Amino acid sequence: MEEKKQLTEEEIALLENNGANEFARKLSDNRKKASKAMRLFLHNMGTEAKETHQASKILVKFLREGKVAKEEEIELKQQVYDLLKMVGIGVPFFLIPGSSLLIPFLLKIANKRGVKLLPSAFNKNENEEE
Q: How far is CA 103 from CA 63, 79, 82, 99, in A?
A: 36, 22, 17, 6
What is the domain partition of the chain in residue ranges? 2-129
φ/ψ of 26, rounded to 5, equals -65, -40
Q: How far is CA 88 from CA 69, 80, 119, 122, in A?
A: 29, 12, 11, 15
Task: Render each residue's pLDDT in the chain as its tens digit; 130 residues.
Answer: 444 444 467 766 766 676 666 666 666 677 777 778 778 888 998 999 999 999 999 999 999 998 999 999 999 999 999 988 888 877 777 777 777 777 788 888 988 998 888 888 887 655 454 4
Give the helix ranges, DSSP H, for 1-130. Answer: 2-17, 21-65, 70-95, 99-112, 120-129
Whether this model's pTM surpasses 0.95: no
Give residue 127's pLDDT: 47
**CB atoms near residue 89 (< 10 Å):** 16
